[in-house]
Structure 1
Amino acid sequence: MLNWRVNLFVLWVGAFLVMAGMTMIVPFLPLYLQELGMHDPHEIATWAGIIFAGNFVTSFIFQPIWGGLADRYGRKVMLLRSGFGMAIVMTLMGFATGAWQLFILRMLNGTISGFLPAAIALVSTNTPKDKTGFAMGTLQSGTMAGAILGPFLGGLMAEWIGYRYIFYITGALLFAASLLVMFMVKETFDSAAAAKKPKQSTVEAFNVLRHITQLPSLYTVTFVIQFSLMSTMPLIPLFVQQLHGSGEYLAFYAGLVGSVTGFSNMIASPLLGKLSDRIGPEKILGVCLIGAAVTSIPQAFVHTVWQLLAARFFLGMFLGGLLPTVNSLIRKYTPNGMESRSYSFNTSFLSLGNMIGPIVGGAISGILTIQQLFLIASALLFANSFWVYYTLVLKNKSASVGKVN
């Protein structure tokens, strides 16, 4: 584990490049659909949700398969498979001429994706356990740094060079991240010991993990977090358009709103991760869920883009403690040798939330306003905090009392 800091730094850069490339399209996707000939706001919102979610449909299905292969053959090979594959697919998106083509390519991208879950598994298995919270928070900060600059740069480049060329830049960033991993990441992986273990199907592996009661609880937490947050994501550019009007720099402001949450998330993630190593990730997870629920409410009452920016900045501070602490807890409760499988199932639940959230948000956008969706997201986050307290705090206390008796 002497190389864990080097791996963490390299994978931080890799996560940054991957997320920057992947999120460049977020702020202008609804606006791009307008350029392709769509004009009805509800149709645009629905298609934006479907295209955005297409990536997560196939990711939900294939992540456990890639996770099983990672536990058998190593995590680094999965990083390279995913990175180079996504570089090709994202470049092809630059040649799309219609919504259906974008949707199909997004689904293909989800099939071969998995860079970030593989990075999490590699870092968690090559990092001392007492540093896991710090490592997960730091890796999350790299992801968020990419999420910051991705929409921001995407909005700028949409104004300067147009939408289509951004896909080519995205492909180049993904290719660069893959090369970085190929030459610099070192993995401690006992392939001989992994080969001796009996092969397990995806269903068999899930049956083993689901009997560890904390893991299904954590998977549920991940799903609700992503569903509540992503249900509003495809509508944010349209909300910015509603607040700002259709004047100049619209794509820039949409990118800025999309990036500000990631900026505060990036600042908070390493700090909250380090704090979780001291006081326990369960406490950080519960507090951050309540904080995210509270700070989601002001978004429903803003009247200017700058008010929305402020509300989403404070939301990001609490979001920084969510997924890193979930990943730390998964490592805590997962048996040795099944780390990639366990993280892959969590990624499937994350993808399920990413998939259903935008579809539901887009589908009901003709019934409810985005302000009402912000309030629903807040209620879901509050409910999630009670679920964490019941499943990870009260049950653990009961189990400890039972062992003493």
Structure 2
Amino acid sequence: MQRWKINLFVLMGGSFLVMAGMTMIMPFLSLYLQQDLGLSNEHEIGVWAGVIFAANFVTSFLFQPLWGKLSDKYGRKMMLLRSGFGMSIVMLLMGFASAPWHLLVLRMLNGVISGFMPAAVSLVSATTPKERMGFAMGTLQSGGTAGAILGPFMGGLLADNFGFRPIFYITGTLLFLASLLSWVLVHEKFDRAEAAMQPQVSVLKGFRDLMVIRQLPVLLTVTFLIQFAMLSPMPLIPLFVQKLHGTTDDLAFYAGFVGSVTGLSNMICAPLLGKLSDRIGAMRILLVSLAGAAVMLIPQAFAGSVGQLLIYRFMLGCFMGGLIPTVNALVRRYTPDGMESRAFGFNSSALSLGNMMGPVMGGALSGWIGIEGLFILSGALLFLTCIWATKALRVRQAAK
């Protein structure tokens, strides 16, 4: 097997383990605060859960560009291992937390040292032939998505049988295994001597240098808008399922099913759309996927049953498979050699900002427009993003 394919499939497996580990406990964070860390007031639990959840994205947003810069200087594999082994230690420590602020500090630290996925994207992009970039980005995305789907299910099973604290120990072990596999099996041709000869610039100067490239500001903005629109309704979907289905014994199952079906179709379609983008162009796939995701978001506001909602969510995931992977492929296309990791670091910061602000703004707006209004608003935002990206990218393509 060609070296780039070995790297791709090993890192796809590593992405699965990382995302499975990272999502095992997050759906049950409020229960962990209540049952293991001694909180009893419902409002207090909600505040702590929101702050702890957001803390990881805040520090990740701030530090990803720095790791991207160091990756271009010292190699992507080193940054991959730094993040993987570092997060495995932090996750183990979370299992020993005895107060909410312990968990908050560790989540902030986790965001500081995180970066396995951006480093994996950067390493794959640097070792994959450009004509196969779409397929590689889609395949890598499918591994992470599969982990995000199965993580909560595995976490639920483990929590029922062993409690919440062992989940952190298992998560740390999964992260350690992913890092170990990458250490042994992933190879990168990186000339440190040549990289050291390149002029060293600050993170801010590197950002300005990249933003001169006409397409990159557009792509970073698109990444933020995609995550913002997709995540703004997410915290309220279980309540919407309850409204459609009623309060029954199997409510948790249906809520989990609705939450995971999007990831299932995303996992299936991401490699297929990536391969198609290699044939007809990543920009076309991105624009069609933006429009398709917008179309599938709006009908969810008018779903009359859980079955209808499942269909719309499944179709939404099909189009989601053509969003972030194609953005990554386009970022690589327009980024000069030697600056890929830095560009992906800034793109990861844009993604983290969308992950952080989407649920916060969605929760704030839900009191006025409800989750139905959030679906419509998110769909409209993606429509506008599609129209703007079509004009902006084509204008910049012509200008180049």
Q: TM-score range by the shorter chain?
A: over 0.9
How far apart, CA to CA, are the structure 2 residues paired with 1:6 and 1:391?
36
Alignment deviations for residues 290-310 of structure 1 (CA, whole Å, 9 cap, x no partner): 111111122223344443332
Indicate yes or no: 2:330 matched with 1:329: yes
Residues 308 and 163 (structure 1), Cα distance of their counterparts in 2 relative to 1, 3 Å cut: farther
How far apart, CA to CA, are the structure 2 residues paired with 1:92 and 1:237?
30
1:50–1:359: 8 Å Cα contact kept in structure 2?
A: no
Which residue in 1 is equivalent to 2:118?
A: 117
Which residue in 2 is equivalent to 1:19?
A: 19
Which residue in 1 is equivalent to 2:154?
A: 153
Alignment deviations for residues 40-87 of structure 1 (CA, whole Å, 9 cap, x no partner): 5xx766554433221110001100110111101101111111111111
Which residue in 2 is equivalent to 1:403?
A: none
Question: Once the 2 structures are TM-superposed, how far is the Cα of residue 365 of structure 1 from its aligned partner?
Answer: 3.8
Alignment deviations for residues 264-316 of structure 1 (CA, whole Å, 9 cap, x no partner): 00110011001111111111000000111111122223344443332211110
Alignment deviations for residues 302-359 of structure 1 (CA, whole Å, 9 cap, x no partner): 3444433322111100000001100110111001100000100100111111111122
Residues 309 and 170 (structure 1), Cα distance of their counterparts in 2 relative to 1, 3 Å cut: farther
Alignment deviations for residues 176-225 of structure 1 (CA, whole Å, 9 cap, x no partner): 11111111111111111101111110011011100001000000000000
Corresponding pairs, count: 397
Spell out the pairing of 1:105-254 with structure 2 (5 A cutoff): 105-244=106-245, 247-254=248-255
Residue number among 25, 39, 44 corresponding to 2:42 in the alignment: 39
Which residue in 1 is equivalent to 2:54?
A: 53
AA in 2 matched with 1:386 = I
AA in 1 matched with 2:154 = L
Which residue in 1 is equivalent to 2:84?
A: 83
Residues 364 and 161 (structure 1), Cα distance of their counterparts in 2 relative to 1, 3 Å cut: farther
How far apart, CA to CA, are the structure 2 residues paired with 1:78 and 1:17?
17
Percent identity over the alignment?
A: 64
Residues 157 and 307 (structure 1), Cα distance of their counterparts in 2 relative to 1, 3 Å cut: farther
Spell out the pairing of 1:227-376 with structure 2 (5 A cutoff): 227-244=228-245, 247-376=248-377
SS of structure 1 residue aligned to 2:333: helix
How far apart, CA to CA, are the structure 2 residues paired with 1:96 and 1:240?
33
Question: Once the 2 structures are TM-superposed, how far is the Cα of residue 369 of structure 1 from its aligned partner?
Answer: 1.9
AA in 2 matched with 1:329 = L
How far apart, CA to CA, are the structure 1 residues paired with 2:307 and 2:46?
23
1:78–1:118: 8 Å Cα contact kept in structure 2?
A: yes
Deviates more, 1:372-381 or 1:115-124: 372-381
AA in 2 matched with 1:196 = M
SS of structure 1 residue aligned to 2:336: coil
Residues 363 and 66 (structure 1), Cα distance of their counterparts in 2 relative to 1, 3 Å cut: same
Question: Once the 2 structures are TM-superposed, how far is the Cα of residue 156 of structure 1 from its aligned partner?
Answer: 3.3
Question: Once the 2 structures are TM-superposed, how far is the Cα of residue 131 of structure 1 from its aligned partner?
Answer: 0.7
Question: Once the 2 structures are TM-superposed, how far is the Cα of residue 172 of structure 1 from its aligned partner?
Answer: 1.5
Residues 386 and 149 (structure 1), Cα distance of their counterparts in 2 relative to 1, 3 Å cut: same
Question: Once the 2 structures are TM-superposed, how far is the Cα of residue 244 of structure 1 from its aligned partner?
Answer: 4.7
AA in 2 matched with 1:220 = T
Question: Once the 2 structures are TM-superposed, how far is the Cα of residue 98 of structure 1 from its aligned partner?
Answer: 4.9
How far apart, CA to CA, are the structure 2 residues paired with 1:99 and 1:312?
34
AA in 1 matched with 2:15 = A
Question: Once the 2 structures are TM-superposed, how far is the Cα of residue 99 of structure 1 from its aligned partner?
Answer: 4.3
How far apart, CA to CA, are the structure 1 residues paired with 2:101 and 2:238?
21
Question: Once the 2 structures are TM-superposed, how far is the Cα of residue 13 of structure 1 from its aligned partner?
Answer: 0.2
Residues 236 and 30 (structure 1), Cα distance of their counterparts in 2 relative to 1, 3 Å cut: farther
Which residue in 2 is equivalent to 1:399?
A: 399
Spell out the pairing of 1:382-393 with structure 2 (5 A cutoff): 382-393=383-394
How far apart, CA to CA, are the structure 1 residues paired with 2:254 and 2:166?
20
How far apart, CA to CA, are the structure 2 residues paired with 1:335 and 1:119?
18
Residues 369 and 314 (structure 1), Cα distance of their counterparts in 2 relative to 1, 3 Å cut: same
AA in 2 matched with 1:152 = F
Which residue in 2 is equivalent to 1:380?
A: 381
AA in 1 matched with 2:113 = I
- Unpaired runs of at least 5, structure 2: none
* TM-score, with length taken from structure 2: 0.93
How far apart, CA to CA, are the structure 1 residues paired with 2:255 and 2:283?
34
Which residue in 2 is equivalent to 1:10?
A: 10
2:16–2:148: 8 Å Cα contact kept in structure 1?
A: yes
Indicate yes or no: 2:29 matched with 1:29: yes
SS of structure 2 residue aligned to 1:369: helix
AA in 2 matched with 1:221 = V
SS of structure 2 residue aligned to 1:132: helix
2:214–2:396: 8 Å Cα contact kept in structure 1?
A: no
How far apart, CA to CA, are the structure 1 residues paired with 2:164 and 2:301?
30
* TM-score, with length taken from structure 1: 0.91
How far apart, CA to CA, are the structure 1 residues paired with 2:258 and 2:29?
14
AA in 1 matched with 2:13 = V
How far apart, CA to CA, are the structure 1 residues paired with 2:173 and 2:306?
32
AA in 1 matched with 2:197 = K
How far apart, CA to CA, are the structure 1 residues paired with 2:304 and 2:41?
27
SS of structure 1 residue aligned to 2:20: helix
2:21–2:175: 8 Å Cα contact kept in structure 1?
A: yes
Deviates more, 1:293-302 or 1:338-347: 293-302
Residues 232 and 92 (structure 1), Cα distance of their counterparts in 2 relative to 1, 3 Å cut: farther
Question: Once the 2 structures are TM-superposed, how far is the Cα of residue 373 of structure 1 from its aligned partner?
Answer: 1.5
2:134–2:282: 8 Å Cα contact kept in structure 1?
A: yes
How far apart, CA to CA, are the structure 2 residues paired with 1:19 and 1:293?
26
